[in-house]
Structure 1
């Protein structure tokens, strides 16, 4: 299980970040206006939750980073991932459980030219949601859980390969056997591995 712990944490971060990023471009809300428009106004996720795309990109970056960082930074990145998940839950939950007028106000203003909370409130007859906000909320929960998973298990993850550690050229001097990677690394540094 511990051998897969890193994979589980990284996949949780990457899956959640990718879902949020894709979701930010999809229609979250359909707004029925009283101006006689034949079709409802489609509001994308990036307009409903302005921070969705940047936070999702951050989750993707954390997923990539947590796969290669050392033992000290893993729990820090886990806490950041959990915090990102909680923030995304806080921002997404209101849209899922009862879309506020503020989630559609920017799009309504852009399309109609009408500004002001009261004027927009009178113009909007109804707001319905698609499946994307709920899917994003689930992804945020997975991100928070993945962050906690990283915090709880990171200290038991195996270290990265030898090739990522400094000082591996000293192996021969300490009597440890050399392998092909060590020899290539010696050549890269301009040293003769046969001496």
Structure 2
């Protein structure tokens, strides 16, 4: 367990990247489809139904990139932001999932020019896909990553200690160390 805690920033960043990937899958794949009698297939994608999923997923990816270089206070701020993003993803996808049938009906009406019960004769099959589950899973991973950050951020090593080996005590510039013939990377 201590080994896992030592890799806290890596675990958090990977969980946020996974949340971003799952969110982008949910945004780009079909949530529902209808096959018409004439063979046309009409699909309602996550982008059509829940457009904000893409933006929230990209925000998770940005958090994954910023989190490893953040200072101690900013880790907690970013962890709170990830918690909000995860909750917002779950809420947005859950609300949009209820509108799948209405979106498919609108697509059928646009394609056939028929509305209401007259559409039934033009539809060969209807299907709802499990793709919204990816969006809910994305929110779940973002929440888990946020809780991990909030619980372990105080144990992460400071980045300033790594950068200190490149600085010279006199001027503070790595260039001066190289001018003296020393290797600042050792």
TM-score by length of 1: 0.71
Match of 1:89 in 2: 90
The structural deviation recorded for 1:127 is: 5.7
CA 1:38–1:81: 2 relative to 1, 3 Å: same
CA 1:104–1:12: 2 relative to 1, 3 Å: farther
* Native 8 Å contact 2:63 2:82 kept in 1: yes
Match of 2:132 in 1: 133
Residue-pair matches, total: 174
2:117 and 2:147 map into 1 onto residues whose CA distance is 40
Match of 1:192 in 2: 180
1:110 and 1:73 map into 2 onto residues whose CA distance is 50
Match of 2:60 in 1: 59
CA 1:56–1:109: 2 relative to 1, 3 Å: farther
The structural deviation recorded for 1:140 is: 1.1
Q: Which sections of structure 1, spanning at least 5 residues, go unmatched?
A: 174-181
1:57 and 1:110 map into 2 onto residues whose CA distance is 33
CA 1:188–1:123: 2 relative to 1, 3 Å: farther
**Alignment equivalent of 1:27, drawn from 25, 30, 33:** 30
Match of 1:155 in 2: 154
CA 1:111–1:191: 2 relative to 1, 3 Å: farther
The structural deviation recorded for 1:157 is: 0.9
Could you report, residue by residue, the CA deviation over 1:49-108 in whole angstroms, capped at 9, with x for unpaired residues? 111111111110001100111111111111111111111100112445x445555577x2
* Native 8 Å contact 2:23 2:54 kept in 1: yes
TM-score by length of 2: 0.74
CA 1:158–1:49: 2 relative to 1, 3 Å: same
Once the two structures are superposed, the pairs formed by residues 1-195 of structure 1 within 5 Å of their partners are: 1-31=4-34, 36-96=37-97, 98-101=98-101, 103-104=103-104, 108=107, 111-112=110-111, 123=119, 128-160=127-159, 162-164=161-163, 168-170=167-169, 186-187=174-175, 191-192=179-180
Across the aligned residues of Structure 1 and Structure 2, the Cα RMSD in angstroms comes to 3.4
